Amino acid sequence: MTQFKVTPWDVEGLVDYKKLIEMFGTQPIDQPLLKRIEKHTGELHVFLRRGFAFSHRDMDKVLDDYEKGKGFFLYTGRGPSGNMTLGHLVPFLFTKWLQDKFGVNLYIEITDDEKFLVKDLELNEVQKYAEDNILDIAAVGFDSEKTFIFRDTEYIAHMYEDAIKVGKKINFSNVRAVFGFTNQTNIGMIFYPTLQIVPTLFEKKRCLIPAAIDQDPYWRVQRDIAESLGYHKAAAIHTKFLPSLQGPAGKMSTSDPHTAIYLTDSPEDVRRKIMKYAFSGGQPTVEEHRKKGGNPDVDTSFQWLYILFEEDDQRIEDIRNDYISGKLLTGELKEILIEKLTSFLKEHQKRKCKAERVAKKMKYTGKLAKRMWER
Amino acid sequence: MTQFKVTPWDVEGLVDYKKLIEMFGTQPIDQPLLKRIEKHTGELHVFLRRGFAFSHRDMDKVLDDYEKGKGFFLYTGRGPSGNMTLGHLVPFLFTKWLQDKFGVNLYIEITDDEKFLVKDLELNEVQKYAEDNILDIAAVGFDSEKTFIFRDTEYIAHMYEDAIKVGKKINFSNVRAVFGFTNQTNIGMIFYPTLQIVPTLFEKKRCLIPAAIDQDPYWRVQRDIAESLGYHKAAAIHTKFLPSLQGPAGKMSTSDPHTAIYLTDSPEDVRRKIMKYAFSGGQPTVEEHRKKGGNPDVDTSFQWLYILFEEDDQRIEDIRNDYISGKLLTGELKEILIEKLTSFLKEHQKRKCKAERVAKKMKYTGKLAKRMWER
């Protein structure tokens, strides 16, 4: 029996990623594939080195196409149901690295329609979040001539024809099986998967989607129909979920502000949240910790450093060993995270303040954006 | 047991219109309502005088609003799955009369998305039919400053936000019950009803929809949700189906060119089709006909004259009586129809040749069209 649940709208329980690969029918990212990527990128992103990007579909074919000069393009997205958390930023950080290394076009879909349809929110609320989220995303620093960010409700005229071509090939049984839709699902939501599939058809090249694995059901449907429409099956590279502040189960949720670090959090917010809520793998007392040591595998502070903030392989292993041996106390580990996270957010917030101009390029006036509005 | 079937995509059997009023829960158009309409229009359209427009929803409220100076607007449409037949033109003829008499705005939706989704046609084929159908519709002679004709796939950017607001209020159970959708229905089609409902929300005034009764299920759904979105329940005025050339069962089908008069038919086509296929209520031999007489109620030629081409009440009663008495032979009755129909089509074809300019006004540059593209 599975003790966890992963759908595009819900992640519950302690996710067994090995099992998820079997359940979803994806491929693990293995050493030969990493070597092949490294050949082109010169180095490996920390997500790849440390197994946070752990699964894929057709990444080998993407590299085939790249090596043959056919190229490929990147596509990812964001459902703007609230202000963005650290967890929401994760796929974008990885996507930026892929764009930098391969120099390819990137399409970022802001699914304001989807979030309106599934959440108890008004459309104008979702659209307000969308515009703010776009600034956060633009602040990540994508190539503004090669990146197109669009909101579904604004760009729909350029997607609807493809959406009905996709929709004609998918029936209710299909989406019921893949997404768990029921007779109570609203008909906007039943149609929505077409719009998450359409950007995979933006170019005749192969599309590579870096995203958390919960989005994979969409790509499964896409792969069933893409070739009949004259396009490639989408390739994907899947990341795990960033553990929530309160522990390794589930993904960082926006519904409970206590378990999430928002990109707008102040240094004081960060200190308070980490000190109060960050799940610790350490022992109840200093004496016991010195004797028995801590468990970094379940410790949010360690995991966040490992996944996001301490890219120096030697330094992170030192931290791990010091924590296991009991030399490093939970409070000290938290201080390391607080310093790194505070400085990360400060930089992000600074970039976001100045992101208006690049966001406009990615939305309307950059080379790729312009081409997408003219097509 | 009902011996007939009426859905937006299928009409089968000999329709019992009285029963249909009960089944659909609409109101019959009665004498007091006719009197009330006549007060404003000065005369009654032949469809109203002769019971071809036979049923309604909230037509009394439309007149209330009109009398109070609140006004109303008209909305109808066309699914462009082929070239237009005489039957397809029927609701437009009636709609033109309503616009002329009440001087109101009219919205005409060309549902190219729907027809692509339900028919075995490519999208570009449907769109080609759509553009040709628009010329036929424009040739009817609507007020080009007060009429907006739009194709769904072209106008979608201005409808999608309302469509998802509508879609959020309708679930799969609802559309399964109302439209008979199944697990095999494609998800484009499942979403489509939202787009047929959206034009009823184009103005804050009450919307009056003149259309054949097979479209009523859409208005039933609209009436369940419109007020929760801050709009009026749509009003409707329903016409019967023009009997097909081969007899009174079903509506004129586009699938069999033999049973339909196309708007492009030549005088020779008309003569051949009427002579060969028009269902006759007469007797097998002249002798027998002279003795027993014919039955105008099932005779297509008589019915078409009655519904469409002989507006003179005295003249049509003379024809009826002469046919019943046996004085008028089937061949003579067909000649009357051929003459009327030929001259009707000749006029229509002449107007269609010159319709390009008014079509452009109704689509883009007329007063209402311009406002709709700017909103």
The complex's ipTM? 0.94
From B211, B245, B279, the end of a domain falls on B245
* Residue in B with minimal Cα distance to A186: B171
Say yes or no for a CB contact (<8 Å) between A153 and B164. yes
B82: in domain: yes
Q: Looking at the structure, do residues B235 and B272 belong to the same domain, yes or no?
A: no
Token pair 């787009």 is found at B195
Q: Looking at the structure, do residues A63 and A195 belong to the same domain, yes or no?
A: yes
A159: in domain: yes
Q: Looking at the structure, do residues B194 and B264 belong to the same domain, yes or no?
A: no
A326: in domain: yes
From A197, A221, A245, the end of a domain falls on A245
pLDDT at A105: 98
> Are the CB atoms for B149 and B138 separated by under 8 Å?
yes
From chain A, pick out residues whose CB is under 8 angstroms from the CB of B160: 113, 153, 156, 160
Full 3-state SS string of chain B: CCCCEEECCEEECCCCHHHHHHHHCCEECCHHHHHHHHHHHCCCCHHHHCCCEEEEECHHHHHHHHHCCCCEEEEEEECCCCCCEHHHHHHHHHHHHHHHHHCCCEEEEECHHHHHHHCCCCHHHHHHHHHHHHHHHHCCCCCCCCEEEEEHHHHHHHCHHHHHHHHCCCEHHHHHHHHCCCCCCEHHHHHCHHHHHHHHHCCCCEEEEEEEHHHHHHHHHHHHHHHHHCCCCCEEEEECCCCECCECCCCCCCCCHHHCCECCCCHHHHHHHHHHHCCCCCCCCHHHHHHHCCCHHHCHHHHHHHHHHCCCHHHHHHHHHHHHHCCCCHHHHHHHHHHHHHHHHHHHHHHHHCCHHHHHHHHHHCHHHHHHHHC
Say yes or no for a CB contact (<8 Å) between B157 and A157. yes
Q: Quick one: DSSP state of residue A104?
A: -
What is the CATH number for A280?
A: 1.10.240.10
Answer whether A168 touches B (CB < 8 Å).
Answer: yes
**Cα(B68)–Cα(A62) distance, rounded to whole angstroms?**
67
**Cα(B265)–Cα(A158) distance, rounded to whole angstroms?**
37
* Residue in B with minimal Cα distance to A154: B157
Answer whether A189 touches B (CB < 8 Å).
Answer: yes
Say yes or no for a CB contact (<8 Å) between B156 and A153. no
> Are the CB atoms for A139 and A351 separated by under 8 Å?
yes
From chain A, pick out residues whose CB is under 8 angstroms from the CB of B185: 171-172
B343: in domain: yes
pLDDT at B4: 80
Say yes or no for a CB contact (<8 Å) between A117 and B168. yes
Say yes or no for a CB contact (<8 Å) between A185 and B171. yes
Nearest to A117 among B167, B185, B190 (CB): B167
B101: domain range?
Answer: 5-245
Q: State how far residue A111 is from chain B, nearest Cα, in angstroms.
A: 12
pLDDT at B219: 96
From chain B, pick out residues whose CB is under 8 angstroms from the CB of A120: none
Answer whether B295 touches A (CB < 8 Å).
Answer: no
Q: How many domains does chain A have?
A: 2
Q: Looking at the structure, do residues B240 and B205 belong to the same domain, yes or no?
A: yes
Q: Looking at the structure, do residues A90 and A180 belong to the same domain, yes or no?
A: yes
Q: Looking at the structure, do residues B143 and B227 belong to the same domain, yes or no?
A: yes
Say yes or no for a CB contact (<8 Å) between A165 and B123. yes
Nearest to B187 among A153, A161, A171 (CB): A171
Q: Looking at the structure, do residues B147 and B295 belong to the same domain, yes or no?
A: no
Select the residue from B158, B166, B172 to test the A interface by mutation, using most A Cβ atoms within 10 A. B172
Give first-to-last CA distance, chain B, whole Å.
Answer: 49
Sites in chain B below the pLDDT cut of 70: 1-2, 249-255
From chain A, pick out residues whose CB is under 8 angstroms from the CB of B164: 113, 116-117, 123, 153, 188
Q: Looking at the structure, do residues B166 and B278 belong to the same domain, yes or no?
A: no
Sites in chain A below the pLDDT cut of 70: 1-2, 249-255
Q: Looking at the structure, do residues A19 and A141 belong to the same domain, yes or no?
A: yes
A262: in domain: yes
Q: Looking at the structure, do residues B188 and B105 belong to the same domain, yes or no?
A: yes
Select the residue from A124, A187, A191 to test the B interface by mutation, using most B Cβ atoms within 10 A. A187
Answer whether A175 touches B (CB < 8 Å).
Answer: yes
Nearest to B194 among A168, A187, A193 (CB): A187
B372: in domain: no
Q: What is the pLDDT of residues A250-265, one digit of tens each?
A: 555 445 777 789 999 9
B251: in domain: no
A301: in domain: yes
pLDDT at B2: 56
Q: State how far residue B250 is from chain A, nearest Cα, in angstroms.
A: 28
What is the CATH number for A164?
A: 3.40.50.620
**Stated pTM of the model:** 0.94
Q: Looking at the structure, do residues A162 and A289 belong to the same domain, yes or no?
A: no
From chain B, pick out residues whose CB is under 8 angstroms from the CB of A171: 183-187
From chain B, pick out residues whose CB is under 8 angstroms from the CB of A167: 117, 186-189, 191
Q: Looking at the structure, do residues A241 and A315 belong to the same domain, yes or no?
A: no
